[in-house]
Structure 1
Amino acid sequence: MSKLTFGFTQLQVQYSLIDSRVEAHLVPLCRQHDVKLLPYGVLAGGFLSDRWLHQEEPSSQTLENRSLTKYKLMVDEFGGWGAFQHLLALCREIADSHRGDCGISDVAVAYIAQQDCVGGIILGARSKAHIGSTLRAANLKLTSQEIGRISQFLCRTRQGPAGDFYELERERKGRHGQIMRYNLNRVHSDVHLAEVQARIALWEEENTTCDSAARTFLQQLGEELQSFHHGSEYGKLSQQSGETLRALEKKIVQLLPTSI
């Protein structure tokens, strides 16, 4: 039999109006090897939508989930809430020039879809209400002038995020790394438990007080520890990891009563 070889055809990446790190090195590499990008996070967890236009900057306590916290950090890297509002206003202006119910999210999706090496886009429709806007965004085509306006704005305004693709997320002691979950291919294993232990240790190292945001973070860690008891890998934990799990659960309980 002849030897079979398999090559990459698409690469799943985080790519949006506020996070263009892939353009520095990854896009040229994909162009060279005829690999397409399959972006996720194109709407930055929903921040790139009409919902956030003319809104005050949300505090970390009001963000509903880890995903919004993650993408709010990207807004900060982009240039802050003020710069982000100018971006939303520009997208709204472009949306108004198109017929129908075109919105900011449609423009954000169309811009990325028309970038070099993009072969498709991952969009999550959490309910039936999102299906119409998802289909509408897929059919929107921006003119070269509209793409140029957005590109020029980004060149003038964008401050970050800097570095290579996922560079910020790899720094586990940084703001981005602290909210990431690693080793998800080994959920509820010894490796996963060690990761949770490291996050708790890092929190203790860097926090002398426990505000409401920190309380939420600790509660999430507590829930993650509880999930170990119901995971398929629970029975495979080493004796040492079992002791560590119980010790960490007690530590979370001890830390939380001091919260406000």
Structure 2
Amino acid sequence: MDYLNVGRSGLRVSRACLGTMNFGTEHGLAASDEAEAGRIIGAFIDAGGTFIDTADLYHRGETEEIVGRALKGRREWVVLATKGAMPVGTEGRGLSRRHLTRALDASLRRLGTDYIDLYQCHQWDPATPIEETMATLDGFVRAGKVRYLGCSNFTATQIVESQWAAARVGGAPFVSLQPQYSLIQRVIEAEILPVCARHGIGTVVYGTLGGGVLTGRYRPGETPDPDSRMGRLLGMAGADRWARSLLNDRNLAIAEGLVKVAAEVGAAPAEVALAWVAGRPGVTSVLIGPRSVRQLRENLAAFELVLPEEAVARLDDISLRDLDPMDGTLFHLVPR
């Protein structure tokens, strides 16, 4: 496992980041129960992984509780990241001082820890002045409850406004951004990655398998297996549209090209998709979301895969063809 500093900070993390959105039973959809989640976390740490990401929203707080219990006795071995802003149960939402203070204290309680290594704003809040948000977050750092600050799903303009606001209030700036990035979603290359480089922000990218499209499991003209993730989402209220937006002709054509490249280099399509993202300029760490120890090991194999230059060039060409930068699928959670 390789390790990099996050942006222009002293925070050092593993190139693989264990995403925990699948840990919990609140929402089903083949999620991992607590026993399996514990095995995944243990195997990840044993493999040299040091970076674990969660959020208060995941499974209505159940995920944070699972992660907290799994880390008992080895909390100091990992960089623990969580996110706030979304509603959990009867709690409010947003990036106001009132909500973030309540959200952080609740996350600390569920995670069974007295500090968060990386606390992230889950999404932009247009109803709260950004100066209030950055001053509140700086207060968390000064109180010792948080070590570093980050954001998720911010646009380039929102990132710049946040960094300027931090400077105006004399507070700690963001050191990380969590954006979506994959062979089928390259919009961040236009403005977001250059802005992150300019402002010393590292990236922890998610969605690298395109919701499963880049595993090679789905083919043009074929109906998804009912037992597959997309097969379960199709027809589900609130999720059908999201699934169909991923299973469009362009994305499936990219997946077909990926399958061919993967066969030539002797690796699984998912490994190649992850390796391509991990090798992109400006990427600090790559989120993986395994539902089992077997999937974890398959994902980790990608971080040992060195793609030939010719394969990288072909993947670049395949994924840029017919790309409309305004047609990217922006982040939104599948309604549960």
Could you list the per-position Cα deviations for residues 120-170 of structure 1 after superposition, in whole angstroms to 9, with x for gaps in the alignment?
11101111220221111121122222221111122223345536x84xx6x
SS in structure 1 at match of 2:287: coil
Contact 1:39 1:118 in 2 (8 A): yes
Structure 2: how far apart are the matches of 1:134 and 1:109? Answer: 8
CA distance in 2, matches of 1:9, 1:91: 32
Q: Say whether 1:38 aligns with 2:209.
A: no
Report the structure, 1 or 2, having the larger helix content. 1
- Judge conservation of contact 1:38–1:120 (CA < 8 Å) in 2: yes
Structure 2 Cα separation of the partners of residues 22 and 66 of structure 1: 29
- The number of residue pairs the alignment matches comes to 163
- Say whether the 8 Å CA contact 2:242–2:334 is kept in structure 1: no
Q: Which residue of 2 aligns with 1:22?
A: 188
Following the alignment from structure 2 to structure 1, what is the Cα–Cα distance between the partners of residues 187 and 240?
A: 19
**Partner residue of 1:128 out of 290, 293, 308:** 293
The answer as to whether partners of 1:18 and 1:74 remain within 8 angstroms in 2 is no
SS in 1 for 2:281: coil
2:265 matched residue in structure 1: 98
Offset at residue 117 of structure 1 (A): 0.8
CA gap of 1:71–1:110, structure 2 versus 1, over 3 A, is farther
Query: Offset of 1:116 from its aligned partner?
Result: 1.8
Question: What is residue 214 of structure 1 aligned with on the other side?
Answer: none
The letter for the 1-side match of 2:216 is D
* In structure 2, distance between residues paired with 1:148 and 1:126: 31
Match for residue 179 of structure 2 among 2, 7, 13:
13
C-alpha distance in structure 1 between counterparts of 2:243 and 2:253, whole Å:
16
Separation in 2, partners of 1:136, 1:37: 21
- 2:253 paired residue number: 86
Q: CA deviation at 1:43?
A: 0.9
Contact 1:35 1:117 in 2 (8 A): no
Asked if 1 retains the 8 angstrom alpha-carbon contact of 2:178 and 2:206, the reply is yes
Runs of 4 or more consecutive aligned structure 1 residues displaced over 6 Å after TM superposition: 64-68
Indicate the SS of the match to 2:257: helix
SS at match of 2:205: strand
**What does 1:217-232 correspond to in 2, within 5 Å?**
none
Q: Which residue of 1 aligns with 2:112?
A: none
Counterpart in the other structure of 2:233? 63
Give 1:46 shift.
1.6
Query: SS of the counterpart of 1:133?
Result: helix
Note the C-alpha offset of 1:22: 1.3
Structure whose alpha-carbon radius of gyration is higher: 1
- Counterparts in 2 of 1:12 and 1:57: CA distance versus 1, 3 Å: same
Gaps of 5+ in 2: 1-141, 143-169
Distance 1:180 1:161, change over 3 A: farther
Alignment CA distance shift 1:53-1:161 (3 Å): farther
- Structure 1 residue 73: deviation in Å? 4.5
TM-score (norm 1): 0.53
Structure 2 Cα separation of the partners of residues 145 and 114 of structure 1? 14
Q: Which structure is higher in strand share? A: 2
Provide the C-alpha distance between the structure 1 equivalents of 2:183 and 2:242, rounded to a whole number of angstroms. Answer: 12
- Aligned with 1:153 (options 309, 315, 318): 318
Partner SS, residue 313 of structure 2: helix
1:144-223 pair list within 5 angstroms: 144-159=309-324, 162=327, 166=330
- Residue 121 of structure 1 aligns to a residue in which SS? strand
Structure-2 separation of matches of 1:34 and 1:94: 34
Question: Using the alignment, how far apart are the partners of 1:68 and 1:27 within structure 2?
Answer: 29
Query: If the length of structure 2 is used for normalisation, what is the TM-score?
Result: 0.42
Determine if the alignment matches structure 1 residue 47 to structure 2 residue 219. no
Query: Aligned residue for 2:302?
Result: 137
Any unmatched runs of 5+ in structure 1? 170-175, 182-219, 221-260
